[in-house]
Structure 1
């Protein structure tokens, strides 16, 4: 049993996985953009500016983007050479062995599952506010979790099931919906930038760094540019979802690196422009609200634009949800195919060519979490899980360069091992700036994962020991 824990998996691209190979490099890039541009830019930008970074939130996005760029280059190399639909889980299985792969897979379940539930809650808040703009008011008991005095957050619960049904219909249909909504979302951002450019006031950028680089308050909370980078990092983990689509990419060895790097580059530019414009049109002290972009436009007197942006945000968060649910189902599919969770879930529906059982299970669980639990600060828990998986991917590049130097690498990192080392260092630094409570929740989740592994996974793994 214990020997198997450290056995690595042979490299295979699962060309006969049963999933439909229909996604182009363009689809993959929009998949990453669809997941990345959402909560981070429409919600966390204002919170980070008001409470952590001030106008220097622009620097927070730049630092988070640099760390993500190092990780993206590592992802691109492993995606082109190792393949598989399990993202960092699959790469860790090849580089480190089964136990490390399970831990990373378990972390990814937290990243995608809790992330989806958190975004569903954010979407529900925007949905209720948008209806209120048209004098349509939902009873509060149907828009709040029981702990907040309600019965269920019905909009959050419902949107998960709408997207679950869409995912069951097929990945190509889901990608087409994502591509369409991404265009709507980017149009909304373009309108905001056009309006903001006419109302920039440089005095709003002073002081530029009111919270400094980094400091710890008496209550243990952290502030400053680097603490802001740790929070807005939530905006960057969308590109990881591109690597979960390997089994459905038309030419994964070429298209995955393109999709990963194109989506990250594009999103970083957008984040810098929006955060700079947002803090340039209103004081950063006014941005600690759930919808800072719409709030800023309302303060400028553009009430119609505020409603338009809120509508665009609703559409944008739907694509984030869609890609998160998609990535979660594909990671679980890979784990089920390897026997680490029940093989019952890896069955592919022959007509739709989708893992229907896993999609239904994810829809059921995530909808309950989104409907009945207020998630609050769990965005930070998602961040620490994402950063941990990024570190493992960067380490994996170094390990495989040593263990398998002759492995065919269609995309190869320049300046090896400098790039992955910088990725490890920058991601660990961002993890260090996260609050201690986030670390505690993360470690509890890891312990639960270890227990599940030894109770079930290690006994049912399909990995055949080498004799």
Structure 2
């Protein structure tokens, strides 16, 4: 067998199912929605609406969130069908290995490393910024050398490191403890968001909505490049729903539960994001919203300082739940690599007592702590969308192949409107990739090249397929 033919050899789904059989299937629809909303309603809702309104779309940022939600819903259905046909750990990595061949699966997994690992670090960095602002209200100021990494003139972002370690301690106690903490925190977070949407609506000035889509953002075909650029950036906010697929090996009745969890997450998140953006841009003129804590800032502008403290606490809870869900997903992804031999096989071991991939969890946390403690948020966030959209494209187009595979026939959820809907969603993924900056695409290209080098120097030799 030639090297190229070996690289494109497909993995057996039965092998995945056998390897994952030691993991406990305990997650319900409610747990999946909690994990999904816990991830999606994180840094994105508390930071992105302000920046994207100020930089790209004005009050029309609400439209950008709605478009991102619709696109995410289409891609979410593709993930739901794959998880029904292949209820295994690894998300797009495992699906790609079974549909396209091992090297494509590896590169999708390599892309997901960017999405999951950097997202944890980016959200932890955002958590640190919000916590610093909250402490400053009470007169406690954290010195620069403990609130920023070397690239920003400090030594280490201490709070970003501590929140990751705290979450890791919770996850190490087992799945039941983790899901109880996540479920409770998500309820509190949603309650605070609803409080902002309802309470903030009394301070809306309709003049702030005029113009709804400012002329300075009109460019490109139909003058809509501002909205498209905002939508491409906002995809980062919806990355949580695809992490649900990473838990398919631990879900009860995945043929039905996965679809409900993913679609439920998208609907709830779309509603909250759109309403939040409408209220935010109604309270304060979009030109003033280019700050990292726009909701708290907006409430301070209308002299609701005490309320802004509540929103800041809600943001901290939101980012905490996102970090928990993403570390959970990133450890399962790392486990999948070890399970298949593409990374050292010790990472693919399940602890007999806790039924957790402990080695994979430790490695994921170490890497995420290093990124969060030393690298700025802007550098982290720029690569996340590229990894996410690449996975979306391959999974949407993969539905066209999945339906033709007789050995993967299933009675679970299927994407409606086949083959038109998955094809359109795949093309939209490619379109949004073109909307990313040239620098981001260059950095992502270098990352993929490193992945190819690792695969041919280590992975292909140690893979179980060999």
Contact 1:196–1:277 (8 Å) recurs in 2: yes
Aligned to 1:219: none
User: How far off is 1:377 after superposition?
Assistant: 4.1
Aligned to 2:123: 119
Aligned to 1:271: 273
In the alignment, is residue 149 of structure 1 matched against residue 153 of structure 2? yes
User: How far off is 1:265 after superposition?
Assistant: 1.0
Contact 1:86–1:330 (8 Å) recurs in 2: yes
User: How far off is 1:212 after superposition?
Assistant: 6.6
Aligned to 1:137: 141
- Provide closer, same or farther for how the CA distance between residues 406 and 88 of structure 1 changes in structure 2, counting only shifts above 3 A: closer
SS of the residue corresponding to residue 377 of structure 2 reads: coil
1:85-124 equivalences under 5 Å are: 85-124=89-128
Within the candidate set 375, 378, 381, 2:380 is matched to 378
User: How far off is 1:83 after superposition?
Assistant: 1.9
Task: Provide the TM-score with structure 1 as the length reference.
Answer: 0.95
Aligned to 1:440: 442
User: How far off is 1:211 after superposition?
Assistant: 4.7
Contact 1:8–1:95 (8 Å) recurs in 2: yes
Distance in 2 between the 1:402 and 1:272 partners?
38
- When the two chains are superposed, the root-mean-square deviation of aligned CA atoms in Å is 1.6
User: How far off is 1:11 after superposition?
Assistant: 2.1
Within the candidate set 448, 454, 457, 1:455 is matched to 457
Contact 2:157–2:373 (8 Å) recurs in 1: yes
1:366-418 CA distance string (max 9 Å, x none): 11111111131432310111011001101111011123387114111111001
Distance in 2 between the 1:450 and 1:215 partners?
37
State which drifts further: 144-153 or 176-185. Answer: 144-153
1:76-115 CA distance string (max 9 Å, x none): 1111012211101111111101010000000000111111
Distance in 2 between the 1:21 and 1:193 partners?
37
Task: Provide the TM-score with structure 2 as the length reference.
Answer: 0.96
SS of the residue corresponding to residue 424 of structure 2 reads: helix
- Provide closer, same or farther for how the CA distance between residues 297 and 223 of structure 1 changes in structure 2, counting only shifts above 3 A: farther
Distance in 1 between the 2:348 and 2:405 partners?
30
Aligned to 2:294: 292
1:230-258 CA distance string (max 9 Å, x none): 11111111001110111111221221111
- Provide closer, same or farther for how the CA distance between residues 26 and 201 of structure 1 changes in structure 2, counting only shifts above 3 A: same
Aligned to 1:58: 62
1:20-419 equivalences under 5 Å are: 20-211=24-215, 215=219, 224-404=226-406, 407-419=409-421
Distance in 2 between the 1:400 and 1:232 partners?
29
Name stretches of at least 5 consecutive residues in structure 2 with no aligned partner: none
Contact 1:214–1:227 (8 Å) recurs in 2: no
Distance in 1 between the 2:299 and 2:227 partners?
25
In the alignment, is residue 14 of structure 1 matched against residue 17 of structure 2? yes
User: How far off is 1:325 after superposition?
Assistant: 0.8
Distance in 1 between the 2:216 and 2:137 partners?
38
Distance in 2 between the 1:147 and 1:32 partners?
32
- How many residues align? The count is 459
Aligned to 2:6: 4
- Provide closer, same or farther for how the CA distance between residues 146 and 223 of structure 1 changes in structure 2, counting only shifts above 3 A: farther
- Provide closer, same or farther for how the CA distance between residues 214 and 404 of structure 1 changes in structure 2, counting only shifts above 3 A: farther
- Provide closer, same or farther for how the CA distance between residues 224 and 267 of structure 1 changes in structure 2, counting only shifts above 3 A: same
Distance in 1 between the 2:141 and 2:206 partners?
39
- Provide closer, same or farther for how the CA distance between residues 394 and 281 of structure 1 changes in structure 2, counting only shifts above 3 A: same
Distance in 1 between the 2:116 and 2:233 partners?
16
User: How far off is 1:20 after superposition?
Assistant: 2.0
Distance in 1 between the 2:232 and 2:63 partners?
12
* Higher helix content, 1 or 2: 2
